A and B are shown apart, each in its own frame.
Chain A
Amino acid sequence: MEPSSKSPPCSERIAPSAKRRARRALRFALIALVLATCLYWFRVPILRGVAAYLVIDEPSPAADYILILAGADRRYDRAARLYHAGSASAILLMESRPGRLETMGFLPSFETLSQRELASRGVPAKSITVIPAKARTDWDRARSLRDWLRQQPDVRVLVFCDRFGGRKFRYIFDSVLGAEFAGRVGLLCLPERSYDENDWWQHREAIVDLFDAYVNLAYARLSGEDSEEWREWDPEEFKKTLR
């Protein structure tokens, strides 16, 4: 037998392979084009969905307490409104670990500020309970809430948090409170005045907030709590380095 009958000439061997590669590339390009077109057409529902995933609204018809967390927009207005409407019988605050500005007196502590703002909206001091916590992280807050709920059987709490923080809080509350207490805690992600999940991509600060919320959620789910001690730097030490 001649060798040529066993294997085809070089040009014949390359041609089908190149044709196959071109066909594959074309197929990929078509799929990518269809995907890109779909993404563009459905960009609004997709972007809405990306943000809506973070928002959790569980309005409890009869909450005994409203727990106000820092960061939620117009939290005091909303809490006072619900209180005066009879939807909640009291307000709950949680002590936070003071930062440098609070310690040095440049800013009031979160609980002092909250009490002042609630009082200015007609909420009497006797209807405000402060949980002594000195909490720094949301995990600390969840643990303090669990301890408090343990002493208050049958009490239901509605937690006010920022618009995109709900998913992370739900995860942390479920993890820390467990089945026994988590069911007694509802979440309400208060709307922001300048954006919501329907138009967040048109606002720079909303893009940053959404990005941060996903980073926080990912960290909570993948890593849990901070794994090293939080240490504050000393401005006096910094001064010494300049001398």
Chain B
Amino acid sequence: MGSRGVQENPALAPAQTPRRRGRRWLALLAFVALLLVVYAGRSWILRAAARFLDVSEPAQATDYVMVLGGGPDSRPFVAAALLDAGLARKAVVARIHAWGDELDGIAPLEQEIIRSVLVSQGVLPDAIVILERECKNTFDEARALAEFVQSQPQRSVTVVTSRYHTRRVRMIFRKTFGERAASLRFVGAPLDGFDETNWWHFEAGWRTYLNEYLKLAFYLVRY
């Protein structure tokens, strides 16, 4: 197509082709330079990508601490530590929708595991509230908590989830709670195996962070 154009107007060829070729080389050079910069700074970029997702706040005293589903091996331990330190009076646990092995009775329900962990860490059974609404996702958990605190609007809640999950959780809870979101705090629990500084060395790290970005994008578009 380009050569045909040159044939149609020979006066154009000597004037434009070298300039365009030069521009293309410059663009290619800039692209290669960009790739080199990205490669040289990959650790920084990957760390920043993980830290972007983590908006957890320092723990402060609130009335309740809510444990979100999806990480029973870490989140309830953090919630129990907050209760133990006197930073909350009661634990609120979401009723998680049962899947696969749980439906077949092979594995215990997640809220039961969370409850057992809390009790084993010294939380009194009376201080654990399991919410009524069955939750299939984070939005359901936000709605369940909103329903729970509806009759007690002065109460404050610390929401405990994994660090990488805090940005999406904060977004969802703020959307659900509206003006009442000021009474919420978001505390992040660490993960086993890896953290923001080395996640790209692990298959589970890639899965965790890429999956979270996928879900974040989905929530941004959908809600």
- Interface residues, chain A, CB within 8 Å of chain B? 6-8, 13, 16-17, 20, 23-24, 73-74, 76, 99-101, 104, 106-107, 113, 117, 137, 193, 204-205, 208, 211-212, 215-216, 218-220, 223, 226-228, 230-233, 235, 238-239, 242-243
Contacts and interface: CB of A to CB of B under 8 A. Distances in A.
A13 B9 contact: yes
Contacts of A17: 5, 12, 16
Contact of A205 (B85, B99, B210): B99
A8 B11 CA distance: 7
Interface in B73-90: 73-74, 77-78, 80-82, 84-85, 87
B203 interface: yes
B41 interface: no
Interface string B176-206: 0000000000000011111000100111101
A235 B193 contact: no
B1 A23 contact: yes
A20 B5 contact: yes
Contacts of B49: none
A101 B114 CA distance: 10
A76 B192 CA distance: 28
A3 to B, nearest CB: 12
B85 A243 contact: yes
B211 A99 contact: no
Given A101-B72, A242-B85, A231 B113 contact: no
B117 interface: yes
B116 A230 contact: no
Given A228-B202, A233-B74, A7 B191 contact: no
By size class, the interface of chain B is 35 or more
Interface stretch (B29-37, B100-108, B142-150, B166-174): B100-108
Contacts of B194: 228, 230
A216 B203 contact: yes
B43 interface: no
B163 to A, nearest CB: 11
Contact of B9 (A16, A73, A218): A16
Contacts of A193: 100
B106 A76 contact: yes
Given A117-B106, A233-B190, A99 B73 contact: yes
Contacts of B126: none
A208 B192 contact: no
A70 to B, nearest CB: 9
Contact of B108 (A107, A117, A220): A107
Contacts of A99: 73, 192
A226 B205 CA distance: 9
Contacts of B73: 99-101
Contacts of A218: 206
Contacts of A107: 107-108, 113
A205 B136 CA distance: 10
Nearest to A104: B120
Contacts of B11: 6-8, 13
A59 B80 CA distance: 47
